[in-house]
Chain A
Amino acid sequence: MNPLELRGPEFLLLYALLAAAAIPAGYLLRRVAKGAGVSDLSVRAPLSAPEIAYLRGGVGAVAEATLATLLRRGTIAVDDTGERLVLASPAGGIASTSSLESEFLASLEPGASWPAGDMRDGVAAVAIRLAEPLERQGLAFSAEEQRSLGLVFCLPMLAVLVLGLAKIAVGLSRGRPVSILVVVCIATAMATVAMFRHRPIVTAAGRDALRRARVQNEALRETASRRTANLSPDDVALAAALFGLGAVADPSLQTLQRQLQPRRREADSGSSSSHSSGSSSSCGSSSGSSCGSSSGSSCGSGCGGGGGCGGCGG
């Protein structure tokens, strides 16, 4: 059966089915292309918080974790408007920071202020250099590998698109109406481009390393999600790196969480374009317990006697 000889409605039905199948086929092909990614994690040095953040969500996640650390350390602060970030610590206070932080801080103009998004882009521009050592360790894909994987992912959809274009040519040669198929092919082309740009940045070994680090730091997640007053800046950095800004219950991070929340969600998906957010930086140049629960529990927090009502008793 030659699909190009099918009648219009029948061809459109076949085309729709093939397009729907192209997505799982793309995933399958990409999985095969990515390989098992098995590596010996035992011989690696422990990953730093920025490296872990990169594995979770690329340079965007690195930037968020870094800004959380700098805020917690008091190196940067939220200005009086509550909407912009400023360099707060004197130069001496920067000495103890990592090279990544130092490089970013050196790009900041003292006295200026920036929206959190701009600061994030500034850190991301510096953080891009984290990729190379992770790629060497087999934890992250290089830019070339990402492009190849994007191509593999979109190949089935591209084949469907070629079939549609061929049918348009056949239809035009026979003087048949092709307007519906043209619209469908435009949609298919857009889907193909989207699939091409949907590139994984982390290898299977990288995902495994992240999973292990999360398991090892489960107690940190429990505590950081409830109270952070007692956590060190390094604890906050690791919690933000592993679990994202939203998992850190720190009032001083509210501005970051509010302004970066949409992009955080994207980063948390773990398959965003890795380097896109680090392509430009605008930093450095901008101016601008109650008692009596019905369950019978005598104290909600577990003390057993109504801690909020004059003592626990238990």
Chain B
Amino acid sequence: MSGSRLGLGIGWRPELALLCERRADLGFVEITVENFPEGTALPRSLRQLQERGVAVIPHGISLSLGGAEPVDQARIDRLAWMAERCAAPVASEHIAFVRAGGTEIGHLTPIPRTRASVEAVVANVRRVRETLGVPLALENIAALFEWPDAEMDESEFVRTILDESGALLLVDVSNLHANARNLGADTAALIAGLPLERIAYCHVGGGAERDGLYMDTHTDPVPPAAIALLRQLSAVARPPGAMLERDGNFPPDADTNRELDAIRDALEGHESVA
């Protein structure tokens, strides 16, 4: 366990603002830093959630911590500014790179599991932590390919980065599921090898199979396998919180609430009735 109890959460989107307001058991919401123009106030409905005790966690998608180049200080400042503005207990980013040599990739792209990559990520995380006033949690991503000549497996790779950087862990169980489907990863072994005592919170997102590959779309229903993975994780680690990621193609609120109920039950170690 790595911090205070967050409980049930959801990725805040304007389309879900009313659902968030009506969901009394929300403990936290996550906001994507890049979706909020710099210097602007938080939406009032978000501030109202804060007033009732719901934590707001800024989640970055553009730091490119896995890039060989140093992280842009302006992007670090923006994440730190948002964390301060939200009075966030933690901020989060990905173990991935999204640009190289000035070219934006447009995807969270996996990095080679090598010692050199570990050192690059650790150096970048340390830069971020120098500015960021709250703990930083790093998220495992979903990958459609693996780089050759890996020097360590996924769990060792993540553990080494966290040990050397002092960062926390954001476990995306749907990404674990995606990697199991697409790359044949052994999720049980991965969970067993992750530094579970450093978990800050968990992501659960929806996805769908396209052209023989499982896509972590965040616009499709949450697969039962992802809920099962969260339940499996909760049985051995009791994560401080878990949240639903939904970014588009929003279903009726009843469906979203059922997914939230399932996440809450899995987090608490109960069998979902949904």
The complex places the Cα of A296 from the Cα of B64 at a distance, in Å, of: 9
Tell which of B75, B94, B217, B250 touches A227, judged by Cβ atoms closer than 8 Å. Answer: B250
Residues of A close to B44: CB separation below 8 A:
215, 218
- Does residue B143 face the partner (Cβ distance < 8 Å to A)? yes
Are A307 and B61 CB-contacts (below 8 A) given A292-B104, A292-B105, A298-B108?
A: no
Residue of B nearest to A297 (CB): B34
By the criterion CB–CB under 8 Å, are A306 and B107 in contact? yes
Contact with B along A275-307 (1 / 0, CB 8 A): 000000000000001011111111101111111
Residues of B close to A260: CB separation below 8 A:
none
Q: Which residues of B contact A (CB under 8 A)?
A: 11, 13-21, 32, 34-35, 43-45, 48, 59, 61-62, 64, 75, 94, 96, 98-99, 104-109, 139, 141-144, 172, 175, 178, 205, 207, 210, 213-219, 245, 247-248, 250-253
- 11 A–B pairs (Cβ distance < 8 Å), ordered by A: A218-B17, A220-B17, A292-B105, A292-B106, A296-B98, A299-B61, A302-B247, A307-B248, A311-B207, A313-B107, A314-B141
Q: Which residues of A contact B (CB under 8 A)?
A: 215, 218-227, 229-231, 235, 289, 291-299, 301-307, 309-314
Residue of A nearest to B110 (CB): A313
Residues of B close to A302: CB separation below 8 A:
11, 13, 32, 34-35, 59, 61, 247
By the criterion CB–CB under 8 Å, are B48 and A289 in contact? no
Tell which of B144, B172, B247 touches A307, judged by Cβ atoms closer than 8 Å. Answer: B247
Residues of A close to B172: CB separation below 8 A:
314
Q: Which of A222, A235, A294 has most B Cβ within 10 Å?
A: A222
By the criterion CB–CB under 8 Å, are A311 and B45 in contact? no
By the criterion CB–CB under 8 Å, are A294 and B94 in contact? no
By the criterion CB–CB under 8 Å, are B217 and A311 in contact? yes
By the criterion CB–CB under 8 Å, are A301 and B217 in contact? no
Residues of A close to B142: CB separation below 8 A:
305, 311-314
Are A298 and B107 CB-contacts (below 8 A) given A219-B18, A223-B17, A314-B141?
A: yes
Q: How far is the CB of B108 from chain A (nearest CB, A)?
A: 4
Q: How far is the CB of B242 from chain A (nearest CB, A)?
A: 16
Residues of B close to A298: CB separation below 8 A:
61-62, 98, 105-108
Residue of A nearest to B62 (CB): A296
Q: How far is the CB of A246 from chain B (nearest CB, A)?
A: 16
Are A226 and B15 CB-contacts (below 8 A) given A219-B20, A313-B143?
A: yes
Residues of B close to A313: CB separation below 8 A:
96, 107-109, 141-144, 175, 178, 216
Residues of A close to B64: CB separation below 8 A:
296
Residues of B close to A225: CB separation below 8 A:
14
By the criterion CB–CB under 8 Å, are B218 and A312 in contact? yes
Residues of A close to B20: CB separation below 8 A:
219
By the criterion CB–CB under 8 Å, are B247 and A301 in contact? yes
By the criterion CB–CB under 8 Å, are B218 and A230 in contact? no
Residues of B close to A312: CB separation below 8 A:
108, 142, 205, 215-218, 245, 247
Secondary structure dominating the interface of B: mixed
The complex places the Cα of A299 from the Cα of B35 at a distance, in Å, of: 10
By the criterion CB–CB under 8 Å, are B104 and A293 in contact? yes
Q: Beyond A218-B44, A289-B248, A293-B104, list 18 extra A-B contacts (CB 8 Å).
A: A219-B18, A220-B18, A223-B19, A291-B107, A298-B62, A304-B61, A304-B108, A307-B217, A307-B218, A307-B248, A311-B213, A311-B214, A312-B216, A313-B109, A313-B178, A314-B108, A314-B142, A314-B175
Residue of B nearest to A311 (CB): B215
Are A231 and B18 CB-contacts (below 8 A) given A291-B107, A292-B106, A314-B139?
A: yes
Q: How far is the CB of B40 from chain A (nearest CB, A)?
A: 14
Are A309 and B17 CB-contacts (below 8 A) given A218-B44, A296-B99, A298-B61?
A: no
Q: How far is the CB of A274 from chain B (nearest CB, A)?
A: 29
By the criterion CB–CB under 8 Å, are B11 and A222 in contact? no
Q: Which of A289, A296, A312, A313 has most B Cβ within 10 Å?
A: A313
Residues of B close to A222: CB separation below 8 A:
14, 17-18, 43, 45
4 closest cross-chain pairs (CB), A and B: A292-B106, A302-B32, A311-B215, A291-B106
